[in-house]
Amino acid sequence: MNIPDLTGRTAVVTGANSGIGLPTALELALHGAHVFVACRSPERGNAAVAQIRKRASSTRVEYVPLDLADLASVRDLAKTLVDRLDRIDILVNNAGVGMISRQVTTDGFEKQLGTNHLGHFALTGLLLPLLVAGPGARVVTVSSDNHAEGEIDFDDLQAERKYGRNSSYARSKLANLLFTLELQRRADGAGVDLVSVASDPGTTATNIGALPRVMSLMMRLFLQSADKGAIPSLYAATSPEARGGEFYGPGPKRMTPSPKALDEAVAARLWDVSENLTGVRFAALDHFTP
């Protein structure tokens, strides 16, 4: 795909130390963007920065600490960036966990929902002042085609009564897509120039799941590479053809969200619940009228 010149643009990519996040950050840097590699491990984050700098010949790549399973860490990163930057042009909500045994985040949320959705919801809201400071900022949230298998059960949102590794992952990916579409609706309703887009990398060999070593090796042999898996996110983040409220998958091509993801009543309720759980409000969208 053709990525335009991104000189003068600032991008934040979560989980950019590995998986599809690393080639996403690399390509943004190769095309001139100032890229922040946001992830938990300083060792892995700085290693990713060094790797990107070797390829991109740029010093405008930085590691910043972020643990999406800890809202205090999310707030710390947001404060750091708000204090340093005038605007953010691209936010790629990429990091995630999947297919793990039931665990909870620092704040007591079921970990797949808490990391994949609530952490990114809070981060986007806290960075919103920087995202709306310039025209046409992109918020790309990585979902999956298996969002169609997810269910948003507001009576058991944290899966305390019923938990499944796959079903809870699918629920978090459905939440990602509901958030993406609702963010675009609210931005449009408030007259805010913001583009919210979802992407699906397709079946890609990454380290998102807690898989046995043999299975991980088989995945790397038979599934597409992380470089290819990053293409939908890069298209959503940079292409002049990408449109807000759309969902792009391998190709890249436009995908049709499931009816569950298009349920505006569920999206609005999930938004309200997410605000209450995280304590983060999107003040720039206060003039939104459902």
Q: Are 216 and 206 in contact (CB under 8 A)?
A: no
Active site residue 248: no
**How far is residue 256's CA from residue 254's CA, in Å, rounded to a whole number?**
7
SS3 170: helix
SS3 38: strand
Q: Which residues contact 50 (CB under 8 A, 6 or more apart)?
A: none
Q: Are 231 and 252 in contact (CB under 8 A)?
A: yes
Q: Which residues contact 65 (CB under 8 A, 6 or more apart)?
A: 38, 39, 40, 42, 45, 73, 76, 77
Q: Which of 63, 163, 169, 248 is catalytic?
A: 169
**How far is residue 114's CA from residue 5's CA, in Å, rounded to a whole number?**
35
Dihedral over alpha carbons 75, 36, 20, 280 (to 10 degrees): 20
**How far is residue 93's CA from residue 75's CA, in Å, rounded to a whole number?**
15
Q: Are 113 and 158 in contact (CB under 8 A)?
A: yes
Q: What is the DSSP letter of 2?
A: P
Angle of helix 165-190 relative to helix 264-278, nearest 10 degrees, comes to 100
**How far is residue 198's CA from residue 174's CA, in Å, rounded to a whole number?**
11
**How far is residue 182's CA from residue 231's CA, in Å, rounded to a whole number?**
24
Residues acting as catalytic residues: 169
